[in-house]
């Protein structure tokens, strides 16, 4: 029997839960749709439409609900992705901001569904942790001028004498 995680992120959508889950699954390795529960005759959604979609992103389980227009996502919660390379940052940034997504500052964005993401290179965290206080401050100052992270610019700030 597979062990389940104790805490699962639950995302409320108007009516795009299945579409969003399929989109998110397409972006990450080790990701898949697990189950889709559909509304029956009694509603409240249209019969046959997705009610709850359980899915995994990079092995982490999430659930998405088609709960109607009552609640919207805010920046008060976001999904942070540790990226191995500039190519991964660029790919995720491009796909998540496409079709109505919005760029923000410091590696933050909103996807077309309004969900906030932080697309962060692991190297940024490493520099902040391993550098001396002046290096960390320069890296932070460089990051504050960016929307999408640029690892080479962060490396330049880190290496300054």
CATH code of 17's domain: 3.30.720.100
pLDDT number for residue 5: 87
Residues 57 and 108 in one domain: no
Report the mean per-residue pLDDT for the chain. 95
Residues 99 and 150 in one domain: yes
Instruction: Give a yes or no: residue 4 inside a domain.
Output: no
Residues 83 and 155 in one domain: yes
Instruction: Give a yes or no: residue 107 inside a domain.
Output: yes
Instruction: Give a yes or no: residue 143 inside a domain.
Output: yes
pLDDT number for residue 4: 76
Contact (Cβ atoms closer than 8 angstroms) between residue 48 and residue 80? no
- Note the pLDDT tens digit of each residue in 7-19: 999 999 999 999 9
Q: Which domain holds residue 102?
A: 78-159
Instruction: Give a yes or no: residue 118 inside a domain.
Output: yes
Residues 83 and 136 in one domain: yes
This prediction's pTM: 0.93
Query: What's the Cα-to-Cα distance from 82 to each of 65, 101, 116, 123, 125, rounded to whole Å?
Result: 25, 20, 15, 9, 9
- Note the pLDDT tens digit of each residue in 93-152: 999 999 999 999 999 999 999 999 999 999 999 999 998 999 999 999 999 999 999 999
Q: Is the pLDDT of residue 1 over 50?
A: no
Residues 62 and 85 in one domain: no
Q: Is the pLDDT of residue 3 over 90?
A: no
Total domains in the chain come to 2
Report the pLDDT averaged over residues 42-68: 94
Instruction: Give a yes or no: residue 72 inside a domain.
Output: no
When pLDDT is cut at 50, 70 and 90, the band that residue 91 belongs to is very high
Residues 48 and 109 in one domain: no
Residues 94 and 126 in one domain: yes
d(CA 146, CA 58): 26
Residues 117 and 155 in one domain: yes
């Amino acid at each position: 029997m597979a062990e389940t995680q104790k805490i699962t992120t639950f995302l409320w959508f108007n009516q795009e839960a299945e579409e969003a889950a399929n989109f998110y699954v397409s972006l990450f390795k080790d990701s898949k749709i697990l189950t889709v529960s559909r509304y029956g005759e009694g509603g409240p959604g249209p019969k046959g439409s997705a009610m709850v979609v359980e899915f995994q992103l990079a092995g982490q389980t999430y659930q998405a609900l088609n709960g109607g227009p009552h609640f919207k996502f805010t920046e008060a919660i976001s999904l942070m992705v540790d990226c191995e390379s500039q190519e991964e940052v660029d790919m995720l940034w491009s796909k998540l901001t496409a079709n109505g997504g919005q760029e923000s500052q410091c590696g933050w964005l909103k996807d077309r569904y309004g969900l906030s993401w932080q697309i962060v290179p692991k190297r940024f965290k490493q520099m902040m942790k391993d550098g001396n206080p002046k290096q960390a401050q320069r890296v932070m100052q460089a990051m504050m001028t960016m929307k999408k992270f640029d690892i080479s610019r962060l490396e330049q700030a880190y290496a300054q004498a």
